[in-house]
Structure 1
Amino acid sequence: MDTRLTRALASVTFALAVLCGLAFIGTGVTHMLDDGDVCVQTDFWRNAALSDSLPISEGVKASGSATRLCQGSPSVGQRAADLGGELPWLLFGSLALLLFSRLLKAVLRQGPFTDAVSRQLSVLGWFVTGGTLLAGLVAGWSQSWLVGSMAPTVGSGPTVTGPSVLVLAGLAAVIMGKIMRQGVHMRKDLEGTI
């Protein structure tokens, strides 16, 4: 095992986790202080032609075949819902990178096939699985609420957005953690019998 490469990867991963955390804070603060329009994409009127008869709220402009809605002077709730599509993924990315950095540090301290590493891998896997679903649900609900606040007649329920393939990657990490844990216990049993 190349410890220099693993140590460098752990450092880079930790730095990326910190950068994602700073982006999370910076995006939240700057966006809430911004006084510009809030825009959202919707597929509800994908085939509709732009006209003055679209059922949208006052102060909302529709563009792009009525798939992009923009609210001038949005409310605090609309601005927060606009952030709901971005912030959950930044927080998820920061925490996932932090957990991965901890996993690599455990590999450096104790070696790759230990109980601590298998536990860290399982924790990372469960976090990626649950975090993907939770971040996707928050982002989907925020977008649905934002569309509903601009076009009250659009009755779309909350959806889960984002890369759902991460759920499979998380479950694979959980399974690999369990396999590694069994391997560690088998090795201990084998060393005890010799």
Structure 2
Amino acid sequence: MDSRLTKTLASVTFGMAVLSGLAFVGTGLTHMLDDGAVCVQTEFWRNATLVPDSVPIGKGVEASGSATRLCQDDPSMAQRAADLGGELPWLLFGFLALFLFSRLLNTVLLEGPFTDAVSRRLSVLGWVVAVGAPLAGLVAGSSQSWLVDSMAPVVGSELAVSGPQVLILAGLAAVIMGKIMREGVRMREDLEGTI
């Protein structure tokens, strides 16, 4: 592996992790201090046309012509937090994944690619991605579902999971590769001890 390329990739990944962390903090602060309307997109009435009083929306809620966008002009603190819950989990997940990947690349630079430390970092990154993606999707999806339900109470509002859940497979693949690398490192150490 080209060390200059790895070093550049580690630096770029670390920079992206810092930007994602700053976006997490900035979004949280600016959103909680904002006193504007809170809007949410829903697919529930996608094929409906908005006829006055046909969609059961709450007091102070405006719906778009297609009834898929709902806006609360004077949201409660819970609605503002739920709106924030749709963004923050993915920003936190992105920060953690990028930071751990950057550390993995730095370990590759310092110790080489086939070491026990690299295999452990790869496994940790894999578990964070495999568990973090569905967890972030669950938090974001349930926040958005609750927000829609708070603006337009509908019987049978269901829990939703958002985001690219294919990341679970990528995370599990990284965990498996970490275990394979760890066995390879142990076999190499045994072989070196024999010779």
| TM-score category of the 2 structures, normalised to the smaller one | over 0.9
Query: Equivalent residue for 2:75?
Result: 74
Aligned-partner residue type, residue 12 of structure 1: V
Q: Report the alpha carbon displacement of residue 112 of structure 1 after superposing the two structures with TM.
A: 0.1
Partner amino acid, structure 2, of 1:193: T
Cα deviation for residue 154 of structure 1 reads 4.5
User: Which range moved further: 22-31 or 38-47?
Assistant: 38-47
- Aligned residue for 1:30? 30
TM-score, normalising length from structure 2? Answer: 0.96
* CA deviation after TM superposition for structure 1 residue 153, in Å: 2.3
| Secondary structure at 2:133 match in 1 | helix
Q: Which residue of 2 aligns with 1:181?
A: 182
Question: How far is 1:94 from its partner?
Answer: 0.6
5+ residue gaps, structure 1 = none
Match of 1:95 in 2: 96
Identity %: 76
The question of 1:108 aligning with 2:109 is answered yes
SS in 2 for 1:125: helix
TM score, norm. by length of structure 1: 0.97
Deviations 1:116-175 (A, max 9, x none): 000000000000011001100000110010001001125322111100011110001001
Per the alignment, residue 39 of structure 2 pairs with 39
Runs of at least 4 residues of structure 1 off by over 2 A?
none
SS class of match (1:50):
coil
Counterpart secondary structure, 2:157? coil
* 2:62 counterpart of 1:61: yes
Q: 1:90 and 1:82 mapped to 2: Cα distance?
A: 14
Match of residue 125 from structure 2: 124
Deviations 1:19-44 (A, max 9, x none): 11001010111111112111111111
- Counterpart of 1:23 in structure 2: which amino acid? A
Structure 1 distance, partners of 2:85, 2:98, is 20
The letter of the residue matching 2:78 is: G
Task: Verify the 8 A CA contact 1:44 1:154 in the aligned structure 2.
Answer: no
Unaligned runs of 5+ in 2: none
Distance in 2 (CA, whole Å) between partners of 1:101 and 1:110 is 14
- The alignment yields a C-alpha RMSD, in angstroms, of 1.0
